């Protein structure tokens, strides 16, 4: 019994222990679930943070870095120094001089009104011109241009004031030492602005500045300025990212001192015939180098407060005209090349001739005459040259000669905007068209085409390309220019030149004579086509003279012209004055 009793107690104790264990197991089981949930939540959050970290540190870190760098960096282009233009004797015609670009950090400027007044006193202008650049509301809070390409001396005066938030960069500005003289040839630049690239730069807009813009302009560089969180420039924070490549210099054929003389003579010559517009050119027939060229009204690239209409163009290249009687030299040369006439060959010249319902007559009243070719050229007979071509060359022969002489092709001059004239296809020529073309009506050319043809008469029949560029001094490059043998029968040259001498000694060009020299050339009084009403304008003409010093050591050819001249007037006096200056300057002597 006793043993049974003890055993019974033992069983109850064991049952108690077993129940407690079950309770603990159930409790631990419930705790494990809660711990698992906590651990799972922790792991999930850790995974989210890890993904976010990878996204920030790996995926978009470069973007944030770039944004951070951009927020403290201001970039701007650095313009190269534009090449210098020299005349043939080394005189500077266009140059980029030292200038200063001034910029501001508006976040550093506490008194913009006072600062703007100080800037105006140093740089000129009104204080209100600068206020916007000095205030954050006017643009960037940390960077804005105050004035680009400012005068270096004025900028230095401003620098000495040590104004907070005002900074300076080295720059250049274009200047033209000779002003109006040679202005149409040299041309001018305009300042272009590229807001996106934060760039302001020079671009040639006319003349040689435009034609050779690529050579002169160079390649822009780039700078970056780093600023701190408060917008203050970091010391040494302006650094070069890309070096600017400076533009090349060029040497051109213009003799600026002779150019000045030519412009003075052009002005006086136009005054004598009482008009304001005209052209003068002097070119070396052997080389094609243009020593001087100008049109009126003149152009000053250094002072463009007033720019007369058409003044930015050199009209000898850009304007077309019916050449008139200077073209009779073309017709006569073609006849001489054909060999069917000599200067002494005579032809009957009635007072007028009829064709297609029109009358062709000379500029002066006369009866029927017999003239030789020399007299026809000297007295400038329309009837005489018309009949000479018709009977001894043929109109198709003249057309072919015009093509051979390249008078229906551009000269290739290195100047922007050369214009190609008008020549009706021969299939559409009427008889009166043929007559008109023989004396330079019904056809249009530019003045350089005439100069080039006349040059061939004293250059063994070879026409050279009129040009300005002589060389590029940095590279030593000397360009080659095309030449064309346009007059094939060399036996025609001497008699043609002789007839042009007769124009000066015995004909319409007597005012072109210079004592001690054999001057040769041809005058013209060309009718002007009325584009509004058709036909030709009444008693208004374009007049010209083209010639040279014959039998001398010179191969200079001079063209002078005046536009829309009333009545019968001449520019032979202008030619005389220009060539007299050339004779003295270039030591021209008879041979």
Span 112-126, pLDDT tens digits: 899 999 999 999 999
pLDDT band at 77 (very low <50, low <70, confident <90, very high): confident
pLDDT bucket at 220, cuts 50 / 70 / 90:
confident
| DSSP symbol at 55 | I
How sure is the predictor about 79, in pLDDT bands with cuts at 50, 70 and 90? confident
Concatenated DSSP letters for 486-545? Answer: ----GGGHHHHHHHHHHHHHHSTTGGG--TTSEEEEEEEEEEEE-TTTSSEEEEEEEEEE
pLDDT given for residue 377 in this prediction: 98
pLDDT for 9: 44
pLDDT at 143: 79
- Token pair recorded at residue 420: 């190609």
pTM over 0.85: no
Q: What's residue 2's pLDDT?
A: 41
Q: What confidence tier does 31 reach under pLDDT thresholds 50, 70, 90?
A: low
Q: Where in the chain is the domain with CATH 3.90.1310.10?
A: 79-252
CA distance 578 to 559: 10
Q: What is the mean pLDDT of the chain?
A: 88
Beta-sheet pairing, 250-252 with 85-86: parallel
Q: Decide which of 3.30.450.40, 3.40.50.1370, 3.90.1310.10, 3.40.50.2300 is the CATH code for 79-252.
A: 3.90.1310.10
CA–CA distance, 510 with 572 (Å, rounded to integer): 8
Q: How far is CA 485 from the centre of its chain?
A: 30
Query: Rounded CA gap, 92 and 243, in Å?
Result: 26
Q: Where in the chain is the domain with CATH 3.40.710.10?
A: 256-304+312-585
For the cut 90, the answer to whether the pLDDT of residue 99 exceeds it is no
pLDDT of residue 61 exceeding 60, the answer is: no
352-407 per-position pLDDT tens digit? 999 999 999 998 899 999 999 999 999 999 999 999 999 999 999 999 999 999 99
Model confidence band, residue 186 (pLDDT cutoffs 50, 70, 90): very high
Q: How many residues does the chain have?
A: 591
Determine the Cα–Cα distance for residues 43 and 220; give it in Å rounded to an integer: 56
Structural fold of domain 256-304+312-585? Beta-lactamase (3.40.710)
The alpha carbon of residue 50 and the mean position of all alpha carbons in its chain are separated, in whole angstroms, by 62
Q: Please say whether the beta carbons of 574 and 560 come within 8 A.
A: yes
């Amino acid at each position: 019994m006793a043993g049974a009793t003890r055993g019974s107690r033992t069983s109850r104790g064991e049952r108690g222990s077993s129940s407690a264990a079950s309770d603990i197991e159930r409790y631990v089981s419930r705790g494990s679930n809660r711990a698992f949930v906590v651990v799972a939540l922790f792991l999930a959050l850790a995974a989210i943070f890890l993904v976010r970290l990878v996204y920030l540190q790996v995926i978009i870190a470069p973007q944030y870095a770039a944004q951070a760098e951009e927020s403290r960096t201001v970039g701007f282009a650095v313009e190269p120094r534009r090449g210098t233009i020299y005349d043939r004797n080394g005189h500077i015609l266009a140059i980029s001089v030292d200038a200063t670009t001034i910029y501001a950090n508006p976040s550093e400027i506490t008194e913009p009104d006072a600062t703007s007044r100080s800037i105006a006193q140093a740089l000129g202008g009104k204080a209100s011109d600068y206020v916007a650049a000095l205030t954050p509301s006017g643009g960037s809070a940390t960077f804005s241009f105050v004035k680009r390409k400012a005068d270096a001396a004025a900028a230095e005066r401003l620098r000495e004031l040590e104004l907070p938030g005002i900074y300076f960069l080295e720059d250049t500005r274009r200047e033209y030492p000779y002003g109006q003289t040679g202005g149409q040839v040299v041309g001018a630049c305009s300042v272009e602005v590229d807001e996106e690239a934060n760039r302001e730069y020079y671009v040639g807009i006319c003349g040689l500045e435009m034609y050779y813009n690529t050579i002169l302009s160079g390649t822009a560089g780039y700078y970056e300025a780093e600023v701190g969180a408060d917008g203050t420039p970091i010391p040494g924070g302006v650094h070069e990212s890309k070096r600017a490549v400076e533009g090349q210099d060029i040497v051109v054929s213009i003799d600026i001192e002779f150019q000045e003389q030519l412009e003075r003579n052009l002005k006086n010559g136009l005054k004598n015939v009482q008009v304001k517009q005209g052209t003068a050119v002097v070119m070396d027939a052997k080389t094609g180098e243009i020593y001087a060229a100008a049109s009126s009204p003149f152009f000053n690239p250094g002072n463009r407060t007033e720019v007369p209409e058409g003044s930015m163009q050199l009209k000898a290249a850009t304007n077309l005209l019916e050449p008139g009687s200077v073209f009779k030299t073309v017709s006569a040369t073609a006849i001489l090349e054909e060999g069917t006439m000599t200067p002494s060959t005579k032809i009957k010249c009635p007072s007028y001739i009829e064709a297609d319902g029109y009358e062709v007559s000379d500029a002066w009243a006369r009866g029927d005459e017999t003239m030789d070719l020399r007299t026809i050229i000297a007295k400038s007979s329309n009837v005489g040259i018309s009949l000479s071509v018709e009977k001894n060359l043929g109109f198709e022969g003249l057309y072919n000669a015009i093509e051979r002489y390249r008078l229906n092709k551009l000269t290739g001059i290195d100047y922007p905007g050369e214009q190609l004239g008008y020549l009706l296809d021969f299939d559409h020529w009427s008889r009166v068209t043929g007559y008109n073309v023989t004396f330079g009506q019904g056809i249009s050319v530019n003045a350089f085409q005439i100069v080039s043809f006349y040059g061939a008469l004293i250059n063994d029949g070879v026409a050279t390309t009129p040009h300005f560029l002589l060389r590029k001094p940095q590279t030593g490059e000397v360009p080659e220019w095309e030449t064309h043998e346009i007059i094939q029968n060399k036996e025609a040259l001497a008699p043609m030149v002789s007839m042009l001498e007769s124009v000066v000694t015995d004909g319409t060009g007597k005012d072109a004579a210079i004592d001690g020299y054999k001057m040769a050339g041809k005058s013209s009084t060309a009718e002007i086509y009325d584009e509004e009403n058709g036909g030709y304008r009444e008693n208004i003409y374009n007049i010209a003279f083209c010639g040279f010093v014959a039998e001398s050591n010179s191969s200079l050819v001079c063209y002078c012209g005046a536009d829309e001249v009333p009545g019968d007037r001449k520019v032979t006096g202008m030619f005389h004055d220009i060539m007299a200056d050339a004779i003295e300057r270039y030591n021209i002597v008879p041979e």
